[in-house]
Each structure stands twice: as structure tokens, then as C-alpha cells.
Amino acid sequence: MIARQDGPETSVNEPGFRRTVEPPRAPRPATPPITEVAPPPRQPPKSGLRRALPWIVLLVVGFIAARVGVRVWQQRKFQLPVGIAASNGRLEADEIDLSTKFAARVAQLYVNEGDIVLAGQPVARMDTRDLEAQRQTALAQVRQARRAVEEADAAVAQQKSQVALARTQVDRYRELRQKDFVSQEDLDVRQQAYDGAQAALSAAMARRGGAQQALSAAQHVVELYQVNIGDDTLRAPRDGRIEYRIANVGEVLSPGGKVFTMLDAASVYMNIYLPTAEAGRVRVGADARIVLDAYPQDPLPASVSFLASQAQFTPKAVETKSERDKLMFRVKVRILPEVLRGEWMATHTGLPGMAYVRLDSTVAWPGYLQPRQPVATGP
């Protein structure tokens, strides 16, 4: 093998060229087959939820701490002073049944459930055709009685003229008798005629009185039918809201049959239950407040209108602070009538809320239980 040196190329025939022979090389060992080595398992990348989990836990803990802090702050802010009791309940109103006075058929309904009605507003009308017919009969009897009175008046007037004539004759015959122009017998005849005319006048006046009484009775019958016809038009006795419709058009109801049930907007209250220690200090007429859950910023002035004389077991719907008080007294807290805003309160019956009763009149109401507007005393 010819060795190649760096530099310009030289020919073998050129002088100075030296031929060298390389020793034989040892054979290369066989190269082992290349085997692929599996890379180490890669760790799966952390998901977004795992990376955010510590922050979520931190946020939850912070939220719970904030809620607890707010709750503690609210409890301190709304903590009741000693001398004021509180309990939960629902707003209610007195129910009024609008019923029929007589057996009749429902002819027409003017309102429906949920409608607001005012005092004196017609709500239903019953069929009064039979009463109208009876009223016409009574009117005919009135006309007949009036004619009888007129005839009696004429008879009285006639008898009065007969009495006047008889009196004149008696006076004349008395003068003639004094001059001895007529006999005593003639004078007695005239006196007897005068007495008969007086009796006839008394009888005529009595008949006129009877005719007048008959006329008055007939007129009262007409008034009775008018009242009955008027009562068959059912009217709302107070301002309020129609709660239920019980009868429909065409139904025949017995006397006292219910057509509607309405809520009295002027009598709205809340029944609460207080334990013995607090109920024993409650007095009828005590100052109170009602706060509805839907309107927590509007305390309604009220007063205690009823206190049960007998205790009862705690109803299931009552939430009490202490479970050791098993016997509770029912207390009715009624909203002041001058505070009720027309039909507004009747539309909010059933709403839950809290009632606060002042057990000690010297204790001032907290700021959050002060009415936002002064109590209106005018209409």
C-alpha cells in the first residue's frame, strides 16, 4: 500500500520516493448488535386541577372564615338586648266567609281568587226572580191598602160633616126650647142624632187607623223583600283579598252556603310561641315589631293582642333557642291598623318572619328594629 503524505503529490518514478508497506491489521472484533434501550418512564404532567387544588382549598378556607366572621358580626350587631323576646312565625289575616242568607242559585260572580276587593264592593249575585215576584205582589197590596186608607179618609170626612150638622141642629133646638117653640122631645131627638154622628165618626176614624196600619204593614213587606233582594248581592264587608272561591255559577246553595272566603286587610297578625320564662312577662297591648324575611329592612310596628292562658307543647314549626322548654304559650302579635297600607298586607299573608315583643317598657328598641318611616295616624 502506498502511504500518502501531506504535500504536493509525487510520482513513484520520482527520485526520493520511498515505498512503504503497512503491516497487516488485526481483524476488528465483531460489533455486537445494537439493542434499543427503553427510555425511563416519563412522569405524567400535573393536571390543572392538581395545580389549582391548593388555591381552591385556600379559597374555601377563606370563604368559610369570612362567612363565620360575617355571622359573628351579624350576631353581635343584631343581638337582642335583655327585655326583648323573639320567635318566628308566619303572617296571617282574619278570614271572612261570604255566604248566602237564603237558599238560592248563584247567578253571577264578579271576582275571582286573588282579587283585591274594597269594602262594599259586589262580589257575587244570587238568582232573585222569586223574590222579585213576591215583591211585586207586596207592592200590589200596598196600592190596595193605600186605596183603603183613602176611602177611610173620605168616610171620616163625611162623618165629620154629619157631626157638624148634628151639633148645629142641637144648638138651634136648644135655643128654640128655651123660647118654648119646640118640645123637649124634639130636642132629645136632635141630641140623640148628634151622639150617633159622633159614634159614627169614631168608627170611621178607627177604620182609617186600621187601613193605615194595613198600609204600613204592606210597605214593610215590600221593604223586607227589598232587603232580601239586596242581601242576595254579596258584598265585601272589609278591604281585603279573595282567598278561595268555593261555589260557581249555577250552583244551588242552602242558607249559609259559602261562595268566597276573603282575608281582612285590616287585621293582620303573626302567631308566635314563647317559653314560660318569657311568656310570663308578656302583657296584652305590649309594644312589638314584625320583620318579614322578604322585607328585612322594614320593621312593622305591632302590639300583643292575645296571650294564651294555657300552655301547649312546642309545635314542630317553631325554632327555639333552648330545647329544654317543652311547654310554650301562644302569643298573637297584631300589626297596628294605622300601619297597614290598604290591601298591600293582605297580599303578603303567609310570608315567614320574626316577631319581637318588648317585655320591659323601659328597654329601647335596637336601631335595626326602628321603623324606617313614622307611623301614619291620618287616613
For the chain, the structural domain boundaries read: 80-93+266-369, 96-127+233-253, 129-231
Query: pLDDT at residue 168 above 80?
Result: yes
Residue 355 has phi, psi (to 5 degrees) of -120, 135
**Domain at 80-93+266-369: CATH architecture:** Beta Barrel (2.40)
Q: Does the pLDDT value for residue 135 go beyond 50?
A: yes
Q: Is the pLDDT of residue 61 over 90?
A: no
Output the pLDDT for position 353: 92
pLDDT top residue among 142 and 9: 142
**Stretch 164-184: mean pLDDT:** 81
Q: What is the mean pLDDT of residues 110-120?
A: 92
Contact 282, 311 (CB under 8 A): no
Share of the chain residues as helix, strand and coil, in percent rounded to the nearest 5: 35, 25, 35
pLDDT of residue 12: 45
pLDDT classification of 45: cutoffs 50, 70, 90? low
The answer to whether 2 and 14 have CB atoms below 8 angstroms apart is no
Predicted model pTM: 0.62
Picking from 288, 265, 298, the residue whose alpha carbon sits closest to that of residue 334 is 288
Q: List pLDDT tens digits, range 62-106.
A: 888 777 766 655 555 557 788 899 999 999 999 999 999 999 999
Alpha-carbon distance 271 to 330, whole Å? 7
Residue whose C-alpha is closest to residue 239's, from 270, 266, 269 = 266
C-alpha grid cell, residue 225 = 223583600
CA distances from 273 to 42, 287, 312 (A): 69, 16, 9
Higher pLDDT, 45 or 328: 328
pLDDT of 3 strictly over 50: no
Residue in 169, 159, 168, 151 with CA at minimum distance from that of residue 197: 159
**Which pLDDT does position 30 carry in this prediction?**
52
**H or E stretch including 324?**
none
What mean pLDDT do residues 231-246 have?
A: 92
Could you tell me which CATH class the domain 96-127+233-253 is placed in?
mainly beta
For residue 93, give every residue at least 6 positions away whose Cβ sits within 8 Å of its Cβ, in sequence order, or none: 240, 263, 264, 265, 267, 268, 269, 345, 346, 349
- Say how far apart CA 222 and CA 137 lie, in whole Å: 9
Mean local confidence (pLDDT), 215-229: 92
pLDDT in tens, 305-363: 999 888 876 666 555 555 545 678 899 999 988 777 654 555 678 899 999 999 988 88
For residue 185, what are the CA distances in angstroms to 148, 177, 190, 265?
40, 10, 9, 87
% residues pLDDT > 70 (the chain): 76
Asked if residue 2 has pLDDT above 60, the reply is: no
Determine the Cα–Cα distance for residues 325 and 170; give it in Å rounded to an integer. Answer: 102
In the block, which residue shows the cell 294605622?
Answer: 338
Query: Which amino acid makes up residue 25?
Result: R
How many CB atoms within 10 Å of residue 113? Answer: 12
Please give the average per-residue pLDDT across 149-173, as a whole number: 85
Tell me the per-residue pLDDT of 262-299, one tens digit each, with 9 for 90 and over: 999 888 999 999 888 888 899 999 999 999 988 888 89
Mean pLDDT of 22-41: 54
3-class SS of residue 277: helix
Quick one: CA torsion of 263, 267, 272, 275, rounded to 10 degrees? -140
